[in-house]
Amino acid sequence: MKSLLLLTFLLFSSLIINAQDNPDQNPNYQKSMDYYMKQKDELQKTMNTTVQNTYKAFDWYQNKLDKKQQRKDYRQQVRLTRASAPSFYYYPHYTSYNRYHRNWNYNYNDWLFWF
């Protein structure tokens, strides 16, 4: 009976020693462990990847080229807009007086009537 009790005591002692084998370990480590175990999947999402946190650096020359391109695009857009919906005030066709005045209530988007 005595030996059985001794054996049980030894078994429990070894279990306790194994559970906290480093005496320097913070006794509250379980709190932190529980906190991070819950969100480990989220924290590991970027593992082995490159996270792109790039910024836009000011480049005088590139800026100049970009502005030039913007102006070209804007002019092209204006031309396209004028072509798709010619205004009564911008490009009136004085080819024929009667033709010019025959549709006072024309549809502005319907440019086919000019031809």
Partner 1 sequence: MKFKFTILLAVASLSIFTISCSNRKVTRIDANEQIDINGSWNSTDSRLTAEDLIKQISNDVWLTNHLQAKNKKPVVIVGMVNNKSHEHIETETFMKDLERSFLASQKIGLVQSGKKREELRGEKADQQTNSSVSTMKKFGLENGADYILQGSINSVVDAYKRQKTVTYQVNIELTNIETNEVVWIGEKKIAKYIKN
Q: By the criterion CB under 8 A, which residues form the site for partner 1?
A: 44, 46-62
Between residues 69 and 87, which has the closer beta carbon with respect to partner 1? 69
Give the integer Cα–Cα distance in Å for 94 and 88. Answer: 12
Residue 48 beta carbon to partner 1: minimum distance, rounded to whole angstroms? 3
Between residues 55 and 90, which has the closer beta carbon with respect to partner 1? 55
Give the integer Cα–Cα distance in Å for 59 and 65. Answer: 10
- Residue the block writes with tokens 């996270």: 51
Between residues 8 and 62, which has the closer beta carbon with respect to partner 1? 62
Handedness of CA 48, 49, 55, 57 (dihedral sign): positive
Residue 93 beta carbon to partner 1: minimum distance, rounded to whole angstroms? 22
Separation in Å, CA 29 to CA 34, 68, 85 = 9, 61, 72
Between residues 52 and 98, which has the closer beta carbon with respect to partner 1? 52
Residue 63 beta carbon to partner 1: minimum distance, rounded to whole angstroms? 9
Provide the Cα torsion 68, 69, 74, 78; round to 10°: 100
Residue 68 beta carbon to partner 1: minimum distance, rounded to whole angstroms? 13
